[in-house]
Structure 1
Amino acid sequence: MSDNDGKKTLGLGGSRPSNVKQSFSHGRTKNVVVETKRKRVVVPKPGAAAKPTGVTPAVSRDPSKRPAGISDVELERRMKALAMAKAREAEEAAAREAEEKERAAEREQRRAEAEAKEAEDREREERAKAKAEEEARKKAAAEAKKNAPAAPAADPAAVPGEAAISRPAAGARKTDRERDNRNEKNNKSKPDGRGGDNRRGGKLTLSAATAGREGGRQRSMAAMKRKQDRARAKAMGVSAEREKVYREVALPEAITVSELAARMTERVADVVKALMTNGIMATQTQTIDADTAELIIEEFGHTVVRVSDADVEQSIITEEDKAEDLKPRAPIITIMGHVDHGKTSLLDAIRKTRVTQGEAGGITQHIGAYQVTTDGGQVLSFLDTPGHAAFTSMRSRGAQVTDIVVLVVAADDAVMPQTIEAINHAKAAEVPMIVAINKIDRPAANADKVRTDLLQHEVIVEKMSGEVQDVEVSAVTGQGLDQLLEAIALQAEILELKANPDRAAAGAVIEAQLDVGRGPVATVLVQTGTLRKGDIFVVGEQWGKVRALIDDKGDRVDEAGPSVPVEVLGLNGTPEAGDVLNVVETEAQAREIAEYREKAAKDKRAAAGAATTLEQLMANAKANEDVSELPILVKADVQGSAEAIVQAMEKIGNDEVRVRVLHSGVGAITESDIGLAEASGAPVFGFNVRANASARNTANQKGVEIRYYSVIYDLVDDVKAAASGLLSAEIREKFIGYATIKDVFKVSNVGKVAGCLVTEGVARRSAGVRLLRDNVVVHEGTLKTLKRFKDEVAEVQSGQECGMAFENYEDIRADDVIEIFEREEVERNL
């Protein structure tokens, strides 16, 4: 107390101070005074027991039974809350009981209504049955009266037939009523609640069907209706078994068991059982062949209708157009001719544009489709085809869709190989031809030589008293262009070209490519009908919905009629150039046709590449042992170029070396292409395309070579050079000498040694030798030893004697001739 100067220590009331030693780091300690709080005990006041608190007197008077620290007010509040909770529980229980009674009354009312309706239906059925019996009785009585007209029929008992009918009927009614009552009692006594709702009585309503839903699981409406039908049929005496329906089952070439059961409307278990009976263990998801399925169908009594997978294409086969529906259309003109004879330049002059400047090497490598309107207002659709040999198939497709062929022949070059090819395509397509003799402005031009050369190929122009029109033109000066357009218009007028624009569109794919921003794009020449935005179509193995149509000027259009070339966007993949586009009704139809065509093409490729017998496998393996392959990957900007490159690659090679195109496609070189090339050890050739960044990085890491080309000649030459490196070098023999055996000696540890005289050339130990006997080769090999006297020598000159011994051969005789030669390798080229 002295420390605080007589002051009291600050603390809580009812607390006891105590000292605690507190420890700190580095060994420091400190004594701290703390206070321990004592538990507070509340004792009630003496006069509190006399106050009315609303609590039980025993609890309020006896403080020892209360919880510690609870005052009278708190205790009173708690007791009130407990009393209110009990009252609320009693009210809720009463409400629940009332609601349950009300629900039971509703159920009882519904049950009574159902019973009344059932009784009414039963009474109606009994009346109908009694009426039927009455009619039967009358009919029997009439027949009996007809058979025995003299017999008295006053007493019904005297008629045995009538009594026999009426008595069982009454008994039957009684029996039916007893049976119904017995069934009703049984249904009511069922514990699961199914029989108590009486749903089978009378008309089935929603309220009757949902009645008693609280009683547990209920039957469906369909089950109740089936139960009603069975009960009604049983009451009328009709057999409850349904008559089996026999169907015509469409059977494709292969079908799953579940699909077969669905088409026959039979249970899957029954079909599986029938298969097992016939010795075929199959589950419902397995596929069975058509013959097995036909056996099962006939076993179930149905009729088989064989269908083919190709039937899906019947939806695109349309009828011929009526004459009154046909309307005039623009002619389709194809420009054909030899490479560098000026086809594209001529078309440029007509279109007044510059397309040639954009072509790599000045040659056309795509098929272009354009529309030109003449000064007379006539619309012409032009197709520009490539001229060199690699694009033969593209030129062939151009001839198939065209109406008129303009054969361009350079006046200074006359008829060339691709000119002849174009003539053959035009004749095969049976289309009229117009000869345009181009480059007439050049000093070396000789139009008459062109006309004369064409005679050799049965093309007789008008100037040579033939029927083929010929026009001298110049794409540079514009000379003769008007006359050419007039000739085309005249020919089109003679042909009377017509098409029906008011039908589903059909056209040919002139070119197809994979555009980075727009996806697969196809240049389509509409041949009949009108192609509209939103149309669903199938083209080759691809299908799609027209998302946009772009004309030859780059403008978007909503529709394209006959003879109009457009770019179509909205395909799911890149089609092949030359595929036919057909508009179909539904997307599912288009997808089904495309999947069938893809499967058929895959099967065809697999069949072409697979050997079916062991002999064929062995023959293929033996053939491939002797042939070296150069694998390559080709990616091009458009489908036509890729196809032309693949065809050019197939022509490279001979019996020893060939080029194998592992994959060809349209679009940029991707990482998957590099992976395939790396696995096959093949280079990747890009034609007017480039590799993306990830593909370049992968190619650098894995050492895959990527080469880019823009002219097809360069690509073909490089592949030829690479394939030539796989050719085995040609072995040529050079005779360097002859020797004659004079005598044969036996030498220990050596064997037989021939004493020879070199008669011509030189004998070398490193050279090859042949042993000739009567000018017939009896042995070919190498020398084991070549000696001059006792010394081993490298060579012996003509006129000198030497000793020779052959490796692994000792059948040598005097007067045999030894032919000495050397082999040298000569490189070969394709």
Structure 2
Amino acid sequence: MTDTKTTGDKTLTASPKTLTLKGRTESGLVKQSFSHGRTNAVVVEKVKRRVLSPGEKPAGQASAPAPQPQAPAAPPAPAAPKPAPQRPSSPGVVLRTLTNNEVGARAQALAGAKAVEAEAERKRAEADARARIIREANEERERLQAEARKREEDARRAADEEAKRRAEVEASRRLGEETAPAEAAAAPAAPERPRDRQRDAAPRPAAPARPTETQVFRHTDNARPARPGDRPSGPAGARPPRPAGAPAGPGGGFRRPATTPESEEPMRAVRRPGGGASRPSTPAKPEQRAPARAAAGAPKERTRLTITAATGGAEERTRSVASYRRRVQRMSGKGHQEPKEKLIREVVVPETITVQELANRMSERAVDVVRLLMKQGVMKKINELIDADTAQLIAEELGHTVRRVAESDVEEGLFDAPDAEGAQTSRPPVVTIMGHVDHGKTSLLDAIRHTKVVKGEAGGITQHIGAYQVTSPLGGLITFIDTPGHAAFTAMRQRGAKSTDIVVLVVAADDGVMPQTAEAVNHARAAGVPIIVAINKIDKEDANPQRVRTDLLQYEIQVESLGGETLEVEVSAKTGDGLDKLLEVIQLQAEILDLKANADRTAEGTVIEAKLDRGRGPVATVLVQRGTLKQSDIVVAGSEWGRVRMLVDDKGGTVPEALPSTPVEILGFNGAPEAGDRFAVVENEARAREIADYRQRQKREQAAARATVRVSGLEEMMSQIKTAGRKELPLVIKGDVQGSVEAIVQSLEKVGNDEVGVRILLSGAGGITESDVILAAASKAAVIGFNVRALKEARDAADRTGTEIRYYNIIYDLVDDIKSTMSGMLSPERREEFLGNAKILEIFSVSKVGKIAGCLVTDGVVQKGAGVRLIRDNVVIHEGKLATLKRFKEDAPEIRAGTECGMSFENYQDMRAGDVIECYRVTEVKRTL
């Protein structure tokens, strides 16, 4: 609010002097004293105290209204004359007076502020009143609930006490009936004394009346009973009224009751220093005391034992508060474990189970199970395994039923679930291309797909298994599986034959039937699938398709041109002749087979190939055989599982789902599965993890069994003799895909003999890592990389440890290098060459030389330094080297037949006349595998 300007105001002028405020503080010196006579002076500031005027009050203190006297008000005094304003004696600021308008405006503002403050106070009072009403209602509700609980507790307690009293009365009555006849018969009647008769005849005083509620509270307030000599309280000479029939104490007061049955806890006085006891902090309410007064005949609760209560003699001691609390705990079940009902369960017992797990499945204590095992003589801890038979005995002894299951039951229903009738639909055929190496399988498939896969193969040969899908001229889809033709990839060909519907046997017209061709025929027959013969390379000049047809007869394959049932097609991958006819023949054969599958179910299939991609992680190439594989499905393949993150087709594109007979790549496995494993989609991660754990455990057990397998008898002895001095070449093999690694391992295991062999420390798909190099360095092994390279960390580790890393991209070169290395580990072959014989004629003893044999060379030649054998009676006596060979007195390098000479042996002197000396030479020949 701003003041209104007036024209009659004077101009304000300030004094030229600077206005300052004098401080109210002044400095002083304070002396501090410490222990051991130490002192210290500190400068402090002292604040001056303001002297108040007689009518002035301190700041912050509200002025309380003076009490008004009860006398009538006096007439108002006449108003004093208003003093004239005085001019300030000292020069300074001149203050102007307020005008009438300003005074009125200020009064109006003050009145408005008071009205606003009164309204706020009224609203605050209303809010407080509402809160108080709500609080009182809540307190009343809680009080009523507490009273109801108290009444229930009192009623239950009274019923218990009444039952106890009746039981005691009944027990005493029975005891009295039993002992009364015995006492009457044992003790004669005693004569009655006069004093007893007078006591019985005298009237008995009435029972002391119980003090009333007012008297109890008056006594509680006094905090102690009246004593002799105490003056009565109240008006002068007045005594408190005595209840009717109440006996007076020594001082006319009342004896303090021993207990307060109105509350559960005894009422205790609060002791204050320097004074007596005060009123208890929480006195019992009248509503809570009423039930206790009603049950006057019920025994009282026992409180703390005092001298007054002990010497009173009028009350009987009852049970203590602690005893009552124990009784309440027993009745409420706390601290008292009632026997529980025995639970009979159906316990699922696998082949092996721990003691703790068995106890959990039976809902029994583990110590009880261990105790039963000890009774049967089996000492086991709770974390140790027991077999299924022992677990069944324990469970049946404890009263449970047992259901035996095998560990392999986790795979039940995983594969080959029956389909509903009529749910199957037609699916594309799966065709596998098989044949000998370099017969044009991949070239033929490239010509069909219009691709150039063969140009990307190292050495011009296929070393991987691939899956592709093409469209036939008739409009249907055909899935092709390309298999390598090298002898090392027989496992790949076997997997391709197992997962196919039709086998296309590719045979070169200029080469004829080869060993791998015959092997492919055997794989197709084992799989029970039809064969279509594709005679390739008919464009060459030396091509002879008729020879191929004739050579196939020895393998019981008779083509249609020769009157058989096997389809044949002459094709050329180079010119493209016969490719359409081949696709038509395949489509015709598929229609005859009537291939069907159910697409509306969970997917199943086979892992064709698996690898570990550095950028994408584990990648598995699978062929869906039943159902539809979708993204986010949970799949299990062998001992690995995962959630499908992405599906990639043969052209590199991403697809949302894969129908039956569709080859796709799956991304999302937690590890690279093995090629040839079957995969299936499960409902949740728990089932997938359970199956994968079971298969990993089986794999470990099988590996341990192979490592510890033992044969008995002579066979074990011979095998130990063969492998006792065997040399091993340790290797760490890493490849691009699982199939290539498997082929390399199988090829290297075939190389070797009883003297030298290969020991594979680690094999797997993926690049060479630092851990692989560290493992190889610890075992002094070499690292083999097939179509993979070492990481930078692995190369640095190899440089530090001196580990050799070899890279290969053709399996021929890898096998040849390992074979040559193992050949160098073979000990050379020792060959003995006969030189000649000599007969000892006479023995001569020479001082400082020893015995010299005078000999006659009878056959061949004797050379100095050659090996000799001393033969006596056709028995070899000594074998060593010839030390000296002389002709007369001169050394001779060799002596021929018909010449006499002198000989001496190294470290041997037992020579006799008539012995024969055989001379020979030993040569070493390098061995190869």
- TM-score, normalised by the number of residues in structure 2: 0.66
2:727 to 625, 628, 631: 628
Distance of aligned partners of 1:769 and 1:248 in 2 relative to their CA distance in 1, 3 Å threshold:
same
Distance of aligned partners of 1:195 and 1:100 in 2 relative to their CA distance in 1, 3 Å threshold:
farther
Distance of aligned partners of 1:319 and 1:285 in 2 relative to their CA distance in 1, 3 Å threshold:
same
Using the alignment, how far apart are the partners of 2:60 and 2:150 within structure 1? 57
Does the 8 Å contact 1:187/1:195 carry over to 2? no
Using the alignment, how far apart are the partners of 2:712 and 2:433 within structure 1? 50
Report the CA distance between 1:15 and its aligned residue: 8.7
For 1:369, the equivalent position in structure 2 comes to 467
C-alpha RMSD of matched pairs (Å) = 3.9
Distance of aligned partners of 1:15 and 1:465 in 2 relative to their CA distance in 1, 3 Å threshold:
closer
Report the CA distance between 1:302 and its aligned residue: 2.0
Distance of aligned partners of 1:111 and 1:499 in 2 relative to their CA distance in 1, 3 Å threshold:
farther
Flag structure 1 segments of 5+ consecutive residues without an equivalent: 1-11, 17-35, 57-94, 124-177, 201-222, 231-239
Report the CA distance between 1:113 and its aligned residue: 4.7
Report the CA distance between 1:357 and its aligned residue: 0.7
Matched, 1:720 2:756: no
- The 5-angstrom pairing of residues 130-279 of structure 1 reads 241-279=339-377
Distance of aligned partners of 1:195 and 1:448 in 2 relative to their CA distance in 1, 3 Å threshold:
same
1:527 to 612, 620, 625: 625
Q: Which amino acid in the other structure matches residue 661 of structure 1?
A: I
Using the alignment, how far apart are the partners of 2:300 and 2:654 within structure 1? 77
Matched, 1:508 2:544: no
* Mean CA deviation greater in 299-308 or 386-395: 299-308
Distance of aligned partners of 1:792 and 1:349 in 2 relative to their CA distance in 1, 3 Å threshold:
same
- Structure 2 counterpart SS, 1:552: coil
Provide, for residues 85-110 of structure 1, a one-character-per-residue CA deviation record: whole Å limited to 9, x for no partner. xxxxxxxxxx99x9899769726624
For 1:112, the equivalent position in structure 2 comes to 148
Distance of aligned partners of 1:342 and 1:613 in 2 relative to their CA distance in 1, 3 Å threshold:
closer
Provide, for residues 753-800 of structure 1, a one-character-per-residue CA deviation record: whole Å limited to 9, x for no partner. 432112344322311112345655454322243333345544334432
* Mean CA deviation greater in 183-192 or 334-343: 183-192
2:793 to 694, 697, 712: 694
Q: Which amino acid in the other structure matches residue 513 of structure 1?
A: K
Q: Which amino acid in the other structure matches residue 748 of structure 2?
A: M
1:711 to 789, 804, 810: 810
Using the alignment, how far apart are the partners of 1:397 and 1:280 within structure 2? 48
More helix by share: 1
Does the 8 Å contact 2:559/2:567 carry over to 1? yes
Q: How many residues align?
A: 672
Does the 8 Å contact 2:838/2:856 carry over to 1? yes
1:460 to 537, 558, 574: 558
Distance of aligned partners of 1:334 and 1:55 in 2 relative to their CA distance in 1, 3 Å threshold:
closer
- Structure 2 counterpart SS, 1:569: strand
Does the 8 Å contact 2:473/2:584 carry over to 1? no
- Structure 1 counterpart SS, 2:607: strand
- The 5-angstrom pairing of residues 759-798 of structure 1 reads 759-773=858-872, 777-798=876-897
Using the alignment, how far apart are the partners of 1:450 and 1:751 within structure 2? 80
Q: Which amino acid in the other structure matches residue 557 of structure 1?
A: V
**Percent of paired sites with the same residue:** 57
Using the alignment, how far apart are the partners of 1:348 and 1:187 within structure 2? 104
Larger radius of gyration: 2
Does the 8 Å contact 1:649/1:661 carry over to 2? no
Using the alignment, how far apart are the partners of 1:505 and 1:182 within structure 2? 81
- TM-score, normalised by the number of residues in structure 1: 0.74
Distance of aligned partners of 1:628 and 1:38 in 2 relative to their CA distance in 1, 3 Å threshold:
closer
Report the CA distance between 1:116 and its aligned residue: 4.7
Report the CA distance between 1:353 and its aligned residue: 1.0
For 1:22, the equivalent position in structure 2 comes to none
For 1:398, the equivalent position in structure 2 comes to 496
* Mean CA deviation greater in 513-522 or 243-252: 243-252
Report the CA distance between 1:398 and its aligned residue: 0.5
Using the alignment, how far apart are the partners of 1:596 and 1:370 within structure 2? 33
Does the 8 Å contact 1:189/1:196 carry over to 2? no
Provide, for residues 295-348 of structure 1, a one-character-per-residue CA deviation record: whole Å limited to 9, x for no partner. 322321223322221111114144322441221111110000111100000011
Does the 8 Å contact 1:114/1:199 carry over to 2? no
For 2:700, the equivalent position in structure 1 comes to 602
- Structure 2 counterpart SS, 1:470: strand
- The 5-angstrom pairing of residues 353-752 of structure 1 reads 353-610=451-708, 622-747=721-846, 752=851
Q: Which amino acid in the other structure matches residue 739 of structure 1?
A: A
Report the CA distance between 1:747 and its aligned residue: 5.0
- Structure 2 counterpart SS, 1:324: coil
Does the 8 Å contact 2:882/2:903 carry over to 1? yes
Distance of aligned partners of 1:613 and 1:829 in 2 relative to their CA distance in 1, 3 Å threshold:
closer
Using the alignment, how far apart are the partners of 1:372 and 1:14 within structure 2? 107
Report the CA distance between 1:117 and its aligned residue: 10
Distance of aligned partners of 1:277 and 1:55 in 2 relative to their CA distance in 1, 3 Å threshold:
same
Using the alignment, how far apart are the partners of 2:301 and 2:479 within structure 1? 86
Does the 8 Å contact 1:346/1:475 carry over to 2? yes
Greater RCO, CA 8 A, separation 6+: 1
Matched, 1:324 2:360: no
Report the CA distance between 1:801 and its aligned residue: 1.4
For 2:916, the equivalent position in structure 1 comes to 817
Does the 8 Å contact 2:464/2:483 carry over to 1? yes
Does the 8 Å contact 2:864/2:884 carry over to 1? yes
For 1:63, the equivalent position in structure 2 comes to none
Q: Which amino acid in the other structure matches residue 695 of structure 1?
A: A
Using the alignment, how far apart are the partners of 2:320 and 2:534 within structure 1? 101
Provide, for residues 211-231 of structure 1, a one-character-per-residue CA deviation record: whole Å limited to 9, x for no partner. xxxxxxxxxxxx89x99xx9x
Using the alignment, how far apart are the partners of 2:603 and 2:379 within structure 1? 48
